[in-house]
Structure formats: C-alpha cells, structure tokens
Structure 1
Amino acid sequence: MSEQARLNGNGSAGTPQTGRVLPFTIPARSARGRVARLGPALAAILGAHDYPAPLCQLLGEALILTVLIGTTVQKGEGQTTVQAQSKGGPIDLLVCDYRAGEIRGYLRFDPERLGEITPGALLPDLFGAGYLAITIEQSAADERYQGIVPLEGDTLCHAVEHYFTDSEQVPTLVRGALRQAEDGAWEAGGLLVQHLPHGETGGPRLAARTDNQDWEHVLALASTITDAELTDSHLSEETLLWRLFNEDEVRVSPPIGLTRGCRCTVQHFREVLGRFPAEELAEMRGPTGTIDVNCEFCSRLFPIEMRD
C-alpha cells in the first residue's frame, strides 16, 4: 500500500505490533508525525553492552529519537545520525543512527564516575555542558546536512525539540518513554508531532510561531500522551493515534519495520583498512599479524587479516 489510509473508530484497533514506526498526518491541522515502538531491536542493542539501568534508559531514549527523526527526514538509503557529545559529565559521547529501517547505537562513559549516574538523573547531570548534532546524509544525491544545538533541557527529547525550533523553525513535540518489565526486558515507544510550514502548501511560512490555533489544538491533544501508553506493546499504534486525535481526520501511511542493523563485517573493515598506506597497516598489526578492529556499536572485536 503506497497511499495513506484514513484512521477511524471501526478500524483503529489494529494489531499490536513491536518494532515499527507508523507515519501519520492530520491534514486539516497541517500536522504530521510518527509513533514508534522499538521492539526486539532495543533488546538486541542493549544486550550487546553491560550498561546499568540509567544508561539503558538514556540510550533507549536516544534510539527512539533517532528513529522518529530518521523516518521523518530520510529517504532512500541515506543515514540519519544523532550524536550527543560533552565535557564535564560522566557521559562524554552518545551515537545512534538510522538507515532504511535499521538502527544501532552506543554510548561512552567514565566507569569511575558511575556513581553519579543515578535513576532519574537529568541531562545536565549526565553530560554537563555539551551539544547535540543531527546529521542527515542523502546517499542518492550525495548530500549532507548537519544541525548543531546546545544540549539544553532536562531530557534528550527536550534537546531535540530545541533543535527543531532553533535550527529548523518547525514547531515540534517529542515524547519518548521506556519501561523495564519484571523479567528485565525493556519496552520503548515514542511520539513526534510537527506543524508543517504553511509555505509548503502555498501560504506564508509558519516559521517558529506558536500562536497558531491549529498547532495549539494538536499540541494540547498530543501532550496528553502518557509513558504507559507509549510503552504498552499491547496497545496498537493505530489505537494510540485514535485516542489522541479522534476529533480530526488522521491519515496513516504504511508502517516501517525496525531491526538492529550494525554494519560491522570483515569485508567492510577490510575495505576501510585498504585505504591506509602499507606502512601504517604494518604499525596497526598485533603480535599475531592481524589488525584488531573493535566495533563500539555491537561490542565485538574483529581480527582482520590484511595482505601486503
């Protein structure tokens, strides 16, 4: 199905799904959005690292945001990367990326400052002063765009809202939530809603105005979303949207499936290493003659044999 379908009460229940993004629009309100559930991909990513619960919470939120942004701006086989980097906090780097339904991510922290990373810690406590960079690469057109904003707000969701308001001039609401079940498994969901610039439909550009009645209406409804609803895998994305926006016509597009997709292969690493001069490759070799490459995303070590 390539066309949007109308959401209605009779067909809103849907089948509860995990690991997918459901795009939607509210035409009468000039709004668009995404609702996402990470599903098994989240367990696969977190399972590759021995992160404490607060770091799992942070990385899960970052993965949700990357998916919401990536499926909004990305086309084709390009890549969207969300990176938070800082100085002064126990976490100095967080990187996630999205490409054609595949997600991956990791973070780096100071083990000696692990005691500072407590449940409920706010963004300034985790990162100190830092910045958020969102990079969009459209491979087909060989185009690359990057927006950088300070890490401001209590959560990464707040920082992303600042990004869209300051860098893109698009009023945006972003919500992300994670829940750890009794068996230790994590469930995650997120919602992104944006007001489309009127310039895209022939009217004056909306810019960052917040006094628009249509946007105020959508914002008020979207703000009622709860963490429990976002993380309830038995509540379908269609039902969630119906609960929020049943006063208006909502059109949904075909869902986008999500999987964990790390591109760490021996062939890929050989291609990258093949760009180095022979003398540099010689310096990289270990006692066994291989070059050991560590993939931070999946926490695996690859011994690569390179011929002279």
Structure 2
Amino acid sequence: KKHAEEAGQRIQSLTEKAKLAKKREADETAWQTACQQNTQSGYQAYLNGNTLKKHADEVQQRLKALAQKTFAFEVVTVNAQGEITHREQKQARYETEDLGNGVALDMVSIPGGTFMMGSPDNEKDRYSDEGPQHRVTVEPFWMGKYPVTQAQWQAVMGNNPSYRKGEKRPVERISWQDAVEFCQRLSEKTNREYRLASEAEWEYACRAGTTTPFYFGETITTELANYNMSRGETTDVGSFPPNGFGLYDMHGNVWEWCADIYYENYNGAPNDGGAWLAEKYQKWSLANLFSKKDIKTTRLLRGGSFAHDPSGCRAANRGGGTSDGRGYRRGVRVVAVAWTF
C-alpha cells in the first residue's frame, strides 16, 4: 500500500469532479427551465435554488427586461375591399419621458431586422422614386408612439406653431430645421439623444413586418386612418389602430420629417439603415444634423397626411420639402438609439 495516500487523494478528486459535473448539469437544467418559463418567478427560483448560479448575470439582465413597461394593443388586417379580416392582440415595450407639467413622451422599442425597402414594380399607384427595391438591415431603436403632439412641442420649444390647435393633435406647420432644433432641445432637456428617423428606419417601423402598401393590408379606409380630407383637419394622435410594432398614425394625419436628403431614386442608397445625407452616405448624429440645419436642401417627408390621397399615404411613398419650408401638413416623430434607455 505504498501509494495508498495518493490513491485516496485521486479518489477524492474524482469524487469532487463527479459532484461538480452533477452540479453543472443541475445548474444547466434549472437554467433551461427558467428560460422556458421566462417569468420573474422562474428566474428568481433559479437564483434561490441550490445551483452554481452560473447564469446569474444573464438572469439579472432578463429580470430587468421583464420589469420594463409594456402596453397591449390590437392590430387589424383588411382585405382589398377594406373589410377587417383578422384581429391580433399584441404587446410592445415602451418607456416614458417626463417633459414636465403632466406632459409625457412615450417611446416604443423597435426590434432590429432586415426588410425590402421601396415598392415592387407592380404596386398600384407607385412612383419611380420608390425603387429600386433593396434589402436594408436596421439596428434596434426607439421611436415615438405617436407623432409629436402640440403639448409636447410646447413643453420643449415654448411655442405652438400649429394652425389646427389641440394639445393631443400632432404639431404641424414646422420645417425640417424646426424639427432638428426640437430634437436638440429635447435631448438637452432629458439628457438623452433624440433625433429624426432615417428614411429606412421610418419605412421599416411603418411596415412592422408587412410587405403590403399599408400596414393594414392592400388598402386603407377612413375607419383606419385620417387621410384624403375625410375629416378636413388633423385628429388627436392615437385615434386609429396601430401597426404591429404598436406605432400609431404612421399613415395619414401629418407628414413626418426624416433626416435624409431627398434623392430621385434608391440607386446608391445605404443598406445599413443609416440616413442618406450626401452622395457618399454616412452615419449621422444629432450634432451632424444640427450643423447642417441652416443649409437649404430638400429633405424627406413620409407617411402622408390628412390631406393626402391613399397613394400618398402608402408605406413606400416618398415626399420632399425644402428644409426651411413650413407646411400645414408637416409634423415630426422622434427616435432614440436602443441603448439609451
């Protein structure tokens, strides 16, 4: 028994390794169970259980995500005659920015993804500037649940330029330059960077996974959106059904300024979701946009307005306006990058 002591040590080592292997297996099993449940109680059970807690950091991240606010909404789909054929209940994450005096700004989480930007050649009433269709990948970001309201504009800018007054109505009669300045002041007020959406972000968010002319389907009706002078004026934001991301008023009500310069087609357009600001596109920032605020260029307008016909409200439709031009149909919706909340 010359090696008895060494044998004993090796046996003990093997026993400890076997126990550790069992604990690792048990830990992984408990982790998989928690992931399948994907609930606060499930993740807490993992942390409180007799496990190695190898995934403790990830558990904390998931608990934080679950604790974030969500809202429920209904998405409708219509047929070619405008009749509702499908209803679906959905939820989306959101955060609220307090602007003071009871005024808040709701921002909705938009997941990243890839989509075909523009319209196909056979889409009814399409224009040549909507092509060629091209694949674009968009990073996650946050977008205003509604167009900026008059109350929100007043809270940030201290004035209300709108012709058709109403705190819950979208602000209008603003230029692209005004919209950029609003983003700058909002960023200073909240210590969080807000900016205009790129044209690609806007269309991606509007479509919310759909490929039809409207996020409702092949057509829209006056029960689904405010357009074609059916009401003769703007309406309170959120008066019509949202899209699959939980965004309201993406078709009609007010045109929405985007960051990009207007080009007559998509030849040479970026495919990474960035704004097309020059012949050689570039990543952009609020500071970049603000530095160009006083340069007169034609900028993008999206979504149509209460005065546009159905064609002008399609997801792919593109409008343009001089950056200093204030039109009675022009409004804005803000975005923030995903990691700022």
The TM-score with structure 1 as length reference comes to: 0.24
Task: Tell me which of the two structures has the higher relative contact order, counting C-alpha pairs closer than 8 angstroms and 6 or more residues apart.
Answer: 1
Larger radius of gyration: 2
Q: By percentage of residues, which structure has more strand?
A: 1
